[in-house]
């Protein structure tokens, strides 16, 4: 897969995601990865598109007045949550390359009345922000989508944007071992956040070569097969999640990317995410 092909497919997949998902599905995914009911009720509901693979805010220790940058901010899910934590004297900047996501985020910003939030169109490999702007950089299930040959650029940009003594909190999917060729070559699983997952050693290498010290990478042990269960509605009493899956509706980081790709031999329900990846 070429970098150009990857960016094109990722763009299509997230444009479709920007159209929205079933609220029950998005809520189930977010709760599975550590977001509380209180947090979810304190932001625009449509900002949660079920795209998370973790909760970077849980380890970011944000403080009032800080400047935060969210890489791959989508419709602003973590941006709006971070805005509540840094308060009116703080600033949260969402960075995304997808115009449809940015349009949705701006609409939600307008309706929410948040004045400490802004969104910037940019690829995370070349971010249109000045050096040393951020106290903290967060990202949620996005870095894995960068082509492997460009991942170092992402971490270089993160280091450039941080103030001296700044910190980064990333939730991402990493490979437990070398992925089989059939997974690595699946565009469906790439845009679904699986095939592009780096191994832990490479992730640590990217961070250190960018200039970071005190790197901690922890497998939280969360069940990534939550995408399977919520997608097919195992816990849905009203059938809405199952209906979303049956219609092929864009839904989660993994499920929706994988189910929406065409000409792919892999069927998402046959891939055990926990066997190959962790977060």
Q: 270 lies in a domain? A: no
Q: 82 lies in a domain? A: yes
Helix intervals (H) in 88-150? 99-112
Find the CATH number of the domain harbouring 47: 3.40.50.150
- The model's pTM is 0.84
Q: 14 lies in a domain? A: yes
3 state SS of 138: strand
Of 96-100, 133-137, 224-228, 230-234, give the lowest mean pLDDT range: 230-234
Angstrom CA distances, 85 to 1, 38, 47, 57, 192, stand at 40, 13, 17, 9, 29
pLDDT at 202 over 50: yes
Structure tokens, 37 = 């009911």
Q: 153 lies in a domain? A: yes
Q: What is the pLDDT averaged over residues 49-74?
A: 96
Q: 120 lies in a domain? A: yes
Q: 62 lies in a domain? A: yes
- Per the structure, the count of domains in the chain is 1
Mean pLDDT, rounded, of the chain: 84
Domain containing residue 91:
3-174+196-218
Angstrom CA distances, 132 to 59, 159, 160, 163, stand at 21, 8, 6, 4
Q: What DSSP assignment string belongs to 117-153?
A: EEEEE-BTTB--S-TT-EEEEEEES-GGGS-GGGHHH
Q: What is the pLDDT averaged over residues 197-226?
A: 86
Q: 100 lies in a domain? A: yes
Q: How far apart are CA 244 and CA 161, in angstroms?
A: 39
pLDDT at 259 over 70: no
Model pLDDT, residue 234? 41
pLDDT at 34 over 50: yes
Among residues 173, 141, 176, which one has the least CA distance to residue 275?
A: 176
Question: Contact, 232 vs 245, CB < 8 A?
Answer: yes
Structure tokens, 64 = 């009032």
- Interaxial angle between packed helices 200-210 and 151-161, expressed in degrees from 0 to 180 and rounded to the nearest 10: 40
Residues 6 or more apart whose CB falls under 8 angstroms from that of 118 comprise 91, 92, 93, 94, 109
Q: 32 lies in a domain? A: yes
> Quick one: what percent of the chain has pLDDT higher than 70?
78
């Amino acid at each position: 897969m070429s970098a150009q092909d990857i960016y094109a497919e990722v763009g299509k997949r997230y444009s479709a995601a920007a159209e929205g998902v079933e609220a029950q599905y998005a809520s189930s995914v977010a709760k599975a990865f550590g977001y509380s009911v209180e947090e979810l009720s304190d932001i625009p509901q449509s900002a949660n598109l079920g795209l998370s693979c973790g909760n970077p805010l849980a380890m970011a220790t944000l403080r009032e007045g800080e400047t935060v940058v969210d890489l791959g901010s989508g419709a602003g899910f973590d941006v709006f949550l971070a805005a509540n934590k840094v308060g009116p004297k703080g600033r949260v900047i969402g960075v995304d390359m997808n115009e449809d996501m940015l349009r949705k985020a701006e609409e939600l910003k307008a309706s929410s009345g948040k004045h400490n939030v802004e969104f910037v169109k940019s690829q995370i490999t070349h971010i249109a922000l000045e050096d040393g702007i951020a106290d903290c950089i967060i990202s949620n299930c996005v870095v894995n989508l960068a082509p492997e040959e460009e991942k170092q650029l992402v971490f270089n940009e993160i280091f450039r944007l941080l103030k001296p003594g700044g910190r980064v909190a990333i939730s991402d999917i990493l490979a437990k071992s070398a992925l089989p060729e059939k997974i690595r070559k699946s565009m469906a699983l790439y845009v679904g956040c699986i095939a592009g997952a780096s191994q832990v050693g490479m992730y640590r290498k990217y961070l250190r070569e960018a200039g970071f010290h005190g790197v901690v990478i922890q497998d939280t042990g969360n069940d990534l097969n939550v995408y399977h269960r919520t997608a097919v509605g195992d816990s849905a009493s009203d059938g809405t999640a199952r209906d979303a899956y049956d219609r092929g509706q864009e839904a989660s980081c993994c499920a929706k990317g994988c189910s929406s790709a065409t000409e792919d031999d892999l069927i998402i329900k046959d891939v055990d995410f926990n066997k190959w990846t962790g977060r």
